[in-house]
Structure 1
């Protein structure tokens, strides 16, 4: 396949879960023969560079629209696929990209008016979020439903089948985290059954990962997990990743690990990690999914999730 020059620039979502959900659509566009690029913040550059044939245009965090536009003008993109209004959408217009495509369902009036080619396609509210991105490229006439587009990143690693990485921290908020005593009980049970347990520690302010690492001491190795492409090799080196609902679970799935994700206020039907081999464990309660970062009640979706159910999924 010969890549044509700068046919379509795709705006990258800032959240890591959304970035992972965009990957199948990007792969479909590249496979179609379109000269495809993605425009993202610098911290996402390495992640999108894992997609063969995709050009990556990165800009600094908090960059102004004019700064981003200056970097895009020289590339002479023929079209851009946008998802919402904001500095990136404004930059595409300022850069003189002649064709601006994007979904209009649920869009603000200002964003819809900025599109030269609005895309209309059905997305059921109960569909997985990946359909939001696939629907757009299918509306452009691109075949997007091939298994290869959903495959994890091809890292040449053969993890020990006994290896388990526990990631208690969530960057989605405190309500997305299981209680520390449950994580400790799960880890003790895994170590007792002969599993090789590691703990992933992220920069989440609540420090659940560090508390678990302190509890396990020398019986577990500890890994600092940056929420970026730099964590992909660590995730791929483990057979199973057990994680709170957060960015780590989605990056681990992209890296090829089998994920067990603990859901609380979020909806797994809508936002579970991509791939049929992954497992979701949740305790359905009457107030879920509330989608809130902080629980206004009593954290019942987390407190009623029992260790034995998570252990059975690992």
Structure 2
């Protein structure tokens, strides 16, 4: 960590938003901390994220979802100080634009695009949550990230349906992050038996589940779908982006983990529950299961039902 803060109150800072939805959600506490120290924060994000950042309380600019580094350089030209979290077109565009101060974590994939790399502590030991990556960098900038206000769920002006439960059987991380369909059916029927009102999110597995459970309402979630998520009292989801977005608006989540690691990437908030059958090959984070998907098949319906409110 630097001996002295890298930013001061009154500074202007352009921040490239993380591209993945879950990373965007996990970066919010750090960005709030930076903003609270009196820094003028401007977000540069893909077009699909504009609504998310605006409702979260950050102004900024956007670029096309497939914008090139050259396109992005034209948007950010003239800025003086920028923060980068990850490699990609935004980092390349910031460098191409010649922004004088380009601050970011001292990681191999990003180092050549930075003028001020920040070494972050990575102590040996148990897995730490991914949010610490963002919080540690905010601390290096001079912010105080460990404040409850930075982690508060977003308050949406949406009526809450107390009995409404959203089921999200599909994962945007791939089918090996998804629980078997017949077990989703068992959970859906158990919730209906408790008098809950079910919504089932769109997707390949979601469509099949909605067909099998005609009492449920099939819904199309246009990501980030924050208003739809905020209207539900509970979200039961495969490990993926939706649970992080639901947690962002304060909806309680039950997340079914398979190849992922809950200690590293669970949604933020004490009210959320993760369910996982730990097997010898997980976590693996592989793009496709190389074995028999035992991390999903060994997770019983009873284990999920036990944690449902």
Shift of 1:96: 2.7
Structure 1 alignment gaps of length 5 or more: none
In 1, the alpha carbon distance for the partners of 2:72 and 2:189 equals 49
Shift of 1:31: 1.1
Distance in 2 separating the partners of 1:176 and 1:25: 28
> Are the aligned partners of 1:65 and 1:87 in contact in 2 as well (CA < 8 Å)?
yes
Out of 33, 47, 53, the position equivalent to 1:48 is 53
How much has 1:158 moved relative to structure 2? 4.3
Q: Is the 8 A contact 1:123 1:132 kept in 2?
A: no
Any conservation in 2 of the 1:162–1:239 contact (CA below 8 Å)? yes
Preserved contact between residue 21 and residue 245 of structure 2 (Cα < 8 Å):
yes
Matched with 2:67 is 63
Equivalent residue pairs, number: 298
- 1:245 corresponds in structure 2 to 239
Q: 1:212 aligns with which of 205, 209, 212?
A: 209
Structure 2 contact 18–86 (Cα < 8 Å) conserved:
no
Give the equivalent residue in structure 2 for 1:33.
38
Say whether residues 1:192 and 2:193 are aligned partners.
Answer: yes
- What secondary structure sits across from 1:256 in the alignment? coil
Q: String of CA shifts for 1:236-293, please: whole Å, max 9, x gaps.
A: 1110000000111111111221000000000000000111110000111111101123
1:308 matched to 2:302? The reply is yes
How far 1:113 moved relative to its partner? 3.6
- Shift of residue 140 of structure 1? 1.3
Superposed displacement of residue 160, structure 1: 2.8
Cα deviation 1:47-87 (Å, max 9, x = unaligned): 111222x22211002211121111112xx422111123332
Question: What is the distance in 1 between the residues matched to 2:282 and 2:96?
Answer: 42
With over 3 angstroms needed to count, the CA separation of the structure-2 counterparts of 1:114 and 1:224, relative to structure 1, is closer
CA distance in 2, matches of 1:163, 1:51: 24
State how 1:57-206 maps to structure 2 within 5 Å. Answer: 57-73=61-77, 76-104=78-106, 106-108=107-109, 111-124=110-123, 126-202=127-203
Runs of 4+ in 1 over 6 A off after TM superposition: none
Structure 1 contact 284–301 (Cα < 8 Å) conserved? yes
Is the partner of 1:239 in helix, strand or coil?
strand
Candidates 19, 25, 42, aligned match of 2:24: 19
* Per-residue deviation, residues 120-158 of structure 1 (Å, max 9, x unmatched): 121347110011111111011111111111111111334
Deviation at 1:161, TM superposition (A): 2.4
Residue 23 of structure 2: SS of its match in structure 1?
A: helix
Aligned mates of 1:84, 1:193 — CA distance in 2: 44
TM-score by length of 1: 0.91
Residues in 1 aligned to 2:302 and 2:194: alpha-carbon distance in whole angstroms:
13
Residue segments in structure 2 that go unaligned for 5+ positions in a row:
1-8
Could you list the per-position Cα deviations for residues 197-254 of structure 1 after superposition, in whole angstroms to 9, with x for gaps in the alignment?
Answer: 111114xxxx10001100111x11111012x23x111111110000000111111111
* Cα distance between partner residues in 2 of 1:183 and 1:114: 45
Question: Which whole-Å CA distance do the structure 2 matches of 1:241 and 1:212 have between them?
Answer: 15
